[in-house]
Amino acid sequence: MIVRFQNGRLALPTGTVGAADIAISDGTVLSVTPVADTPADWLVDLAGGWLLPGFVDTQVNGGGGVLFNDQVDVEAIAAIGAAHARFGTTAFLPTLISDTPAQIAAALAAVDAAIEQGVPGVVGIHIEGPFINEVKRGIHEAHRIRRLDADTLATLTARHRGRVMLTLAPELCDEDDIRILVRHGVIVSAGHSDATYDEAQRAIGAGLMGFTHLFNAMSPLHHRNPGAVGAAFDSDTYCGLIVDNVHLHPAVVRLAIHAKGKERIMLVTDAMPSVGTDVSEFTLQGKRIAVKDGVCIFEDGTLAGAHLDMASALRKTVEVTGLSVPDVSVMASATPAAFLSLNDRIGAIAPGQRADWVWLDAELAPRATWIGGQMIPESASDLVQTA
């Protein structure tokens, strides 16, 4: 099948083009070529917009009115994925914030089942806590926080169908445990941490490869005490950024991208169940969270995740940095795919990649999404014509 995109801009690894024929088979891109004289099977008029690689989000707490912590099953994962696919996310990690050992095991099993059943978009799981530092816990419940134990270590390192990402406070974790996790394929990231620079660097030496929502809930950069942020800057690690004009000042976004480069910065949503809905509040582990002006906030002023989708994150990043859409697209797709070691399958519009695309209009608002070459049901299928 050949899908012809024209009258817009396509962000390819080799550069931007105004039109192209993309041949796909079994959900995989076979070729990306200039428009041919022969008819295509489907024709998409981009109307001056963009075709970008589908977004890859490594931190999705919820969406579509569903919070993963509240409902660790395949139906919840499918609902969350569908909500975010409307905004261009074609690969995501359902994220469980600090919870009980039983809930962690249930979440891992649910994601395994979702992948086995072919739920669109789900590529693994993110376990965020409870092995974090109480002084940097944010909205996480204090009574949930604990040290990593042998039983949970075994649960995390068992064979799973997708990627397993674990956010922990490295200063409260044994370096040998990090080595064991990494040896079994777990992606270890620092977050909700008060680590010193040296503590963070030792964890990096043990295999830690990321920093979860950089700057937020971690020891800051100081000129005599570089902290976790300093260790992130002074290493080849990946860093997630929540670009919603609330979690980070625009200057900090620019500084982080300048320090790390687009190949190491990942846009994340840290999305809550309000995404894809018009609700004004929701409950998070017994706490009433208000959604005001696009901000999820507890009554004491603590931020509780974000009311953010990936299309908005990309648009806001373009606005505050002045970077090009293709450059920011790398941080929304190719870089997180590389962080997950999935860049051989997702994250670019190129032969051999899954046919995951998002069409944004000229104002960078989402118009349609494809996952594995299939337009998701919520997308505007009437915008695609038979040739």
Q: Which residue do the tokens 């999820």 mark?
A: 296
- Residue type for 168, please? L
Q: What tokens does 295 get?
A: 């901000």
**Per the residue annotation, which of 21, 99, 244, 270 is the catalytic one?**
270
Residue of 15, 49, 12, 50 whose CA lies nearest to 32: 12
**What SS3 class is residue 166?**
strand
283, with CB counted inside 10 A (0-12, 13-18, 19+), is exposed
Instruction: Please tell me whether 84 is known to bind a ligand.
Output: no
| Residue 337 labeled ligand binder | no
Cα atoms in the Cβ-side hemisphere of radius 13 Å centred on 46: 28
In angstroms, rounded to a whole number, what is the distance separating the alpha carbons of residues 279 and 290? Answer: 9
Residue 82, annotated as binding a ligand? no
Query: 128 labelled as ligand-binding?
Result: yes
Q: Cα angle at 219 between 148 and 300, to 5 degrees? A: 90
**Tokens (6 digits) for 382:** 């009437």
CA–CA separation, 367 and 381 (whole Å): 10
- Burial (CB count <10 Å: 0-12, 13-18, 19+), residue 52: buried
Q: Is 143 one of the annotated binding-site residues?
A: no
Active site residue 270: yes
Q: Is the peptide bond before 34 cis (omega within 30 degrees of 0)?
A: no
Tell whether residue 256 is among the known ligand binding residues: no
307 is in an annotated binding site: no
Q: What is the DSSP string of 231-289?
A: HHHTSS-EEEE--SSSSS-HHHHHHHHHHH-TTTEEE---B-TTTTS--SEEEETTEEE
- Going by the annotation, the residues of the binding site are 128, 139, 192, 213, 216-217, 224, 247, 303-305
Residues tagged active-site? 270
- Going by the annotation, the residues of the binding site for Zn(2+) are 128, 192, 213
